[in-house]
Structure 1
Amino acid sequence: MDWSKAKTILIVAFIITNLLLVYVLIGEYHIDEPTLKKEFINEVIELLKEKDIGVATEMPMEIPRLNSMIVEYENVNIQRLNLNYFNNKGIIEQSSEGLSKVVRGGESFLLINNRSIIYENSIDDKIYSDLDEDKAIELAEEFIKKGKFNTDDMKLSFIKEDKGTFYIEYSKIYEDVYVEKAFTNFQIDKRGVKRFERSWLKEKDLADVEIYISTAPKSILALLGMQQVYGKTITDISLCYYFEPEKHDYLEKPTEAKQGKAVPAWRIQFDDGYKIFIDEY
């Protein structure tokens, strides 16, 4: 008998057996997860209905997992805003530490801790009489490009018109996964951009180990105790990277945080743009 050949066959058979065992175990784990069964999901939807919470989106059916991510805030300075938007013709006011402002006519930028931007336009001239959704998006994107912000990691995640004003939100994505809380928000009416707010995050590093969290049907049960979402309808349930400075004990002054750890969480968005983040493990 060729023992060398037989030994090779046994090793290959052992590897195949182990691979099949792993496949079966993973398959059984998915099938037997009780919170992903149709009966459980239907019960969750009925409980939400009792609180007047509608569900107008598909329920994610995966076992949720993501690596944690180290993120840092996008750094902005008032001189850059003055150059890009006012051609260096604005008047800069350094009112206090961490707070600066640049003004030109009826327009102004307020910069907080070099990371949070608020633009306001008080000019009453009606420039865009034919304003519609497409035009509002066009104006928003032109405004972003004028500031020379990177648009590769931005996704239009919400738009709504109310009494002639379009409310638009862009969210940050990393490889098609939302990164929260990062936002670029607009209010646009016939004068153009009426208000602009931006606080953005940049990814620095990913951890090697994946973190598992509770399934979507189980996690959204937490909404039953949140009165602020009663009467709303869920329009999107997505897994995201979630950074909340206030939840990090090592940050004594979360409003001044420059970076931190973003962890897996469920991002629940409602029909009015309101969002809830649930990071149960």
Structure 2
Amino acid sequence: MDWNKAKSILIVAFVILDIFLVSQVISIKNDSVPAASFEIIKENLSEQGITVSIDVAGEELILPLLEVEYMVFNSESKEIREYLGETYSELIENEYYINSKGQSIQINQGKKLLFMTREIEAGVNPNIADAASQIESFASKLQIDLEGFYQTRVYNENNANHIVYSENYQGYPLENSYYMFIQDGFGVVGFEMQRVKSIRKTQANIVLSRPEEALLRLLKYKDIRGEAVIGMDICYYRDEDLIHWGEIVVDNLEPTWKVVFESGAIKYLLEFE
């Protein structure tokens, strides 16, 4: 056999073998590192009294920063007449309205509208199993269109269930655009809404950390010691407490990890704070 030809065959064989071995090493690394690091992360959290009751592992994600424009409510808003009728009293200018039936509207910071048909009856326990049908009936009567909104949270406060429906954008909930229905033992008593009227995808992108790495940000919170993590999902969010919310009409929503605890508490693990 020609030696040069044999040498060429051997070189090609060794190159193929090297490629195969490198691919196996990369595969093993990708499979093992996240699992190992997650166990370490769980241990670190456990030392601070935070239990992780779910398995999370994933890759970094790149999602766009969104620009949204909010609906603004004031004394001229059509919703006041739609819900209270033509005859009502303005008790606090641009903030609080009531009609002769005891139905009321409260506007908070120009963007949150709370409509109550009556006072909450706290003496009778609400039945969460009836909530979906009661909300459907209530929304139909008030011509509230829930298309594109999905239930994202339920919590009980003062013996009334609060059921949150968040707007969906390409599979991710917008935490700041929602309807929150209030249910007592006799049915849906009212709702709060904050809505965006336009959404634009910006040119800026946010790189989301792997979920297990994002969990480490829980260590900076002192109010969740003794809590257990039971859920973790991606959403779009803006912390309304960090800015002059009443002055904001156009704003950005950032993709972030949302962590849900067994107690009902929620933490948003923003990439930039």
Alpha-carbon separation, structure 2, partners of 1:163 and 1:125: 7
1:64 corresponds to which residue? 61
Alignment of 1:86-235 (within 5 A): 86-89=84-87, 91-93=88-90, 95-96=92-93, 98-120=94-116, 121-122=118-119, 132-160=127-155, 165-235=160-230
1:260 corresponds to which residue? 251
Alpha-carbon separation, structure 1, partners of 2:171 and 2:257: 14
Going from structure 1 to structure 2, the CA distance change for 1:130 and 1:32 (only over 3 Å counts) comes to closer
Cα distance, 1:266 vs structure 2: 1.1
Code of the aligned partner of 2:58: M
Going from structure 1 to structure 2, the CA distance change for 1:199 and 1:272 (only over 3 Å counts) comes to farther
Cα distance, 1:209 vs structure 2: 4.9
Q: Work out which of the residue numbers 247, 257, 276 in structure 1 matches 2:267.
A: 276
Q: Work out which of the residue numbers 82, 87, 105 in structure 2 matches 1:84.
A: 82
The alignment's TM-score, normalised by the length of structure 1, stands at 0.73
Alpha-carbon separation, structure 1, partners of 2:28 and 2:194: 38
Structure 1 stretches of 5 or more lacking a match?
1-23
Give yes or no for the alignment of 1:240 onto 2:235.
yes
Is the contact between residue 100 and residue 112 of structure 1 (CA under 8 Å) also seen in structure 2?
no
Cα distance, 1:71 vs structure 2: 0.9
Alpha-carbon separation, structure 2, partners of 1:165 and 1:246: 25
Alpha-carbon separation, structure 2, partners of 1:145 and 1:223: 41
Code of the aligned partner of 2:129: D
Q: Work out which of the residue numbers 45, 49, 54 in structure 2 matches 1:52.
A: 49
Cα distance, 1:156 vs structure 2: 0.7
**Structure exhibiting the larger radius of gyration computed from Cα positions:** 2
Is the contact between residue 68 and residue 197 of structure 2 (CA under 8 Å) also seen in structure 1?
yes
Offset from partner CA, 1:19-47 (integer Å, 9 cap, x none)? xxxxx99x96995599x611111121222
Is the contact between residue 60 and residue 237 of structure 1 (CA under 8 Å) also seen in structure 2?
no
Per the alignment, in what secondary structure is the counterpart of residue 83 of structure 1? helix
Going from structure 1 to structure 2, the CA distance change for 1:101 and 1:57 (only over 3 Å counts) comes to farther
Is the contact between residue 124 and residue 191 of structure 1 (CA under 8 Å) also seen in structure 2?
yes
Per the alignment, in what secondary structure is the counterpart of residue 167 of structure 2? strand
Count of residue pairs the alignment pairs up: 249
Q: Percent identity over the alignment?
A: 19
Per the alignment, in what secondary structure is the counterpart of residue 227 of structure 1? coil
2:18 corresponds to which residue? none
Code of the aligned partner of 1:201: V
Alpha-carbon separation, structure 2, partners of 1:186 and 1:56: 29
Code of the aligned partner of 1:80: K
Per the alignment, in what secondary structure is the counterpart of residue 228 of structure 1? coil
Going from structure 1 to structure 2, the CA distance change for 1:53 and 1:41 (only over 3 Å counts) comes to same
Code of the aligned partner of 1:69: L
Going from structure 1 to structure 2, the CA distance change for 1:37 and 1:124 (only over 3 Å counts) comes to closer
Code of the aligned partner of 2:56: M
Code of the aligned partner of 2:176: K
Is the contact between residue 125 and residue 159 of structure 2 (CA under 8 Å) also seen in structure 1?
no
Per the alignment, in what secondary structure is the counterpart of residue 173 of structure 1? strand
1:17 corresponds to which residue? none
Is the contact between residue 216 and residue 266 of structure 1 (CA under 8 Å) also seen in structure 2?
yes
Alpha-carbon separation, structure 1, partners of 2:266 and 2:195: 17
Is the contact between residue 119 and residue 197 of structure 1 (CA under 8 Å) also seen in structure 2?
yes
